[in-house]
Structure 1
Amino acid sequence: MTTDSLRPSPIDEHPVVLRRYRIPTPSIAQFYALLVRCLSLRTGAMVYARSRVGKTYAILFLESLLASQRPALPILRMRCQHKRIATETAFFSALLTMARHKASSGRDPTQLRHRLSQRLLEIADQSHSSDILVFLDEAQHLGSSEFEWLRDIHDELELEGVRLVTMLVGQPSLRARKSIFQRDGEEQIVARFMTEELPFHGVRSAHECSACLQGYDQGEYPENSGWTHTRFFFPRAWEAGMRLAAEGGALWDAFDDAHKRAQLVGELEIPMEFFTRAVQHILYQYAKRDSTSFAFSRAVWDEGVDVSGYVRARK
């Protein structure tokens, strides 16, 4: 019996190889706890981190999780774009596109705003929900005027009994924007969109590496099949007791050594983009070596870190 015949489907069709999967992280767990609290309090929050740490990855993970846990909750997502000059027509058109309105363009901002309010009320009514969750990714690009326009929409919907729970996700400059609003007496904007805040992080320790790797030991494809991601790539080693979670220290050390050798600035904080690339490479490339005695070496993890492109992306 060959290794391939042990698996329920071809390796090249697995979500890990296709990068169509999500692994929970400690920071995502904190993000989810914040999200649950905001939905309960019906208030907004901001989540911030430096670029490429994994904020968008977290949004996609939480969207998928909420779709299964709270199927009646409408969830919308928009990636904010940097504009030299913000206009009402461009802003409302972008929000209409987010809300999947068929007529998202126009020249009259009043008409676009009304169209947006009606569309959001329609979404809430169709879902039988008094809340709409909105993720605004790269929210550091929003200017003061755009926050004012967003507040107007928020208030219009609230008069109709519908609450926009807005999650501002972006870079640390969001904190400075909050301070500016507080300094200028714009407490209404802070109260609606920035009451709660959370610094988001990449993987910051060997323990967190193990927690993330455990996601491969527990995530299954197909769901509820018993075929965890680790077992799929290493069925013989899995049966012999091998688990990826035990490799957290080795993977952390490989990233840490690469970080130090390259003399990168700051403490190591592994973005999920590079973490998953490293693991994906190792699973895919070494699956052919699966055996009951298979064991990962430090050289294997060094290879994974190199292939991930972490150092090249940071230089």
Structure 2
Amino acid sequence: MIISQDTLDNYFVSNEFNITTPAIMELQKQVFRWVSDGTPGSIIYGRPRIGKTRAILYIASVLKAKYGRELPIYVLNATEHIAKDKFFYSELLKVVGHPEFDKGTVSMLKERLLNSLFTCACNTKYRKIILFIDEAYNFTEKDFKWLMDIYNNLNLKNIHLYVFLVGSEELIARKQALILAKQHQIVGRFMVEECHFHGIQSAKEMSICLANYDQPLEIVGEQISLAKEFFPDAFLDGKRLFSCADTLMDEYLKIMKEIGIPSASEIPMMYFVNTIKYCLNNYGITGKKLYFPTDEAWRNSIFNSGYVAAERLYFNVPIG
């Protein structure tokens, strides 16, 4: 079966596709520890495009698989907004799946949300609720105060809410601003612990990521190894993409030096995935039909992944 480029593109942007990177496994252990230790809130931060959103979706799925209905888990995607209590409660009601998320007064919405959260956790073994807030730097001081009120109301009913704030380095700046504003209750409740989530930092990590493409993945209902699909002869001869890690990392380091960004920079997962996708489509059996990716193929794939333009922008490096 030869996968079309459209099918591959759709698969890579879907929530079904997830590379279990070392950073994700490290974060998973941290989240499990926070829940076990009773840490009410923590910050998960990192630079843009490194895979934070996919990481929390993956970890949420692992938690659901482990605990099932005994541990309700929700993910809120916070957007830029004017802080209004009605909007706050309405957004959380959407997340918990309540059909009447925008009907009634503010007090009715709040009561509806509290009842929904209490109902989903009151008869569970742990009486806990986990809430991931993605792009949490969009939360204002007022949002955090309303969230703290929800936390306190649930706590009075012996329901424990765990809040994990996810976002860019702006989250750390938001924490510092709240400290300066003497909002210690908010910081103490939701921001005590921090976890720095990172992209690919070494050839070893890259090798673990590449191994995902060697192993069978469920794509359009079938178990397919992308390495076998696009480089069939090399795969039959025992070659695997994970063995390209040193070569690919060397090409990244060369390009970092050429464009003038720090050689210790982490590689964002978004552009790593784009690099692999470009290589498969353009140098595999549906493209130039290479036996196996060459140094030049990897280099061209990096340049066509969006990586160079994004890194120049992130590090404020001028062109030329």
TM-score clears 0.5: yes
Aligned to 2:198: 201
| Separation of aligned partners in 2, 1:62 and 1:162 | 22
Counterpart of 2:199 in 1: which secondary structure? coil
Change (3 A) 1:255 1:94: same
CA deviation map 1:112-160 (0-9, x unaligned): 1111111112222576652221110111111111111101101111222
Q: CA deviation at 1:312?
A: 2.0
Aligned to 1:11: 3
Change (3 A) 1:67 1:86: same
> Match of 2:136, as an amino acid?
A
Counterpart of 2:266 in 1: which secondary structure? coil
Q: CA deviation at 1:270?
A: 1.1
Change (3 A) 1:155 1:15: farther
User: How many residue pairs end up in the alignment?
Assistant: 304
Aligned to 2:25: 29
| Separation of aligned partners in 1, 2:10 and 2:145 | 44
Q: In the TM superposition, what are the counterparts of 1:282-297 in structure 2 within 5 Å? A: 282-288=279-285, 294-297=291-294
Counterpart of 1:71 in 2: which secondary structure? helix
State the Cα RMSD in Å: 2.7
> Match of 2:75, as an amino acid?
R
> Match of 1:63, as an amino acid?
A
CA deviation map 1:145-187 (0-9, x unaligned): 1111101101111222222111100121222333344455444
State the TM-score, normalized to the length of structure 1. 0.86
| Separation of aligned partners in 2, 1:187 and 1:278 | 44
Q: CA deviation at 1:204?
A: 1.5
1:16/1:229 contact within 8 Å kept: no
Q: Identity percentage over the alignment?
A: 32
Change (3 A) 1:48 1:158: same
CA deviation map 1:175-216 (0-9, x unaligned): 233334445544432332122211111111222211211222
Which deviates the most, 178-187 or 59-68?
178-187
Q: CA deviation at 1:232?
A: 3.5
Aligned to 1:66: 63
State the TM-score, normalized to the length of structure 2. 0.85
| Separation of aligned partners in 2, 1:219 and 1:64 | 20
2:50/2:198 contact within 8 Å kept: yes
Change (3 A) 1:41 1:15: farther
1:76/1:134 contact within 8 Å kept: yes
Aligned to 2:240: 243
**Long gaps (5+) in structure 2:** 314-320
| Separation of aligned partners in 2, 1:166 and 1:201 | 20
> Match of 1:216, as an amino acid?
Y
Q: CA deviation at 1:266?
A: 7.4
Change (3 A) 1:40 1:107: same
Q: CA deviation at 1:102?
A: 0.7
Counterpart of 2:94 in 1: which secondary structure? helix
> Match of 2:80, as an amino acid?
H
| Separation of aligned partners in 2, 1:241 and 1:289 | 20
| Separation of aligned partners in 2, 1:230 and 1:69 | 31
From 48, 60, 75, the equivalent of 2:73 is 75
Aligned to 1:103: 100
2:231/2:292 contact within 8 Å kept: no
Which deviates the most, 225-234 or 138-147?
225-234
Q: Are 1:114 and 2:106 matched, yes or no?
A: no
| Separation of aligned partners in 2, 1:16 and 1:245 | 21
**Long gaps (5+) in structure 1:** 1-8
Change (3 A) 1:254 1:228: same
Aligned to 2:45: 48
2:257/2:263 contact within 8 Å kept: no
| Separation of aligned partners in 1, 2:177 and 2:110 | 26
Counterpart of 1:269 in 2: which secondary structure? coil
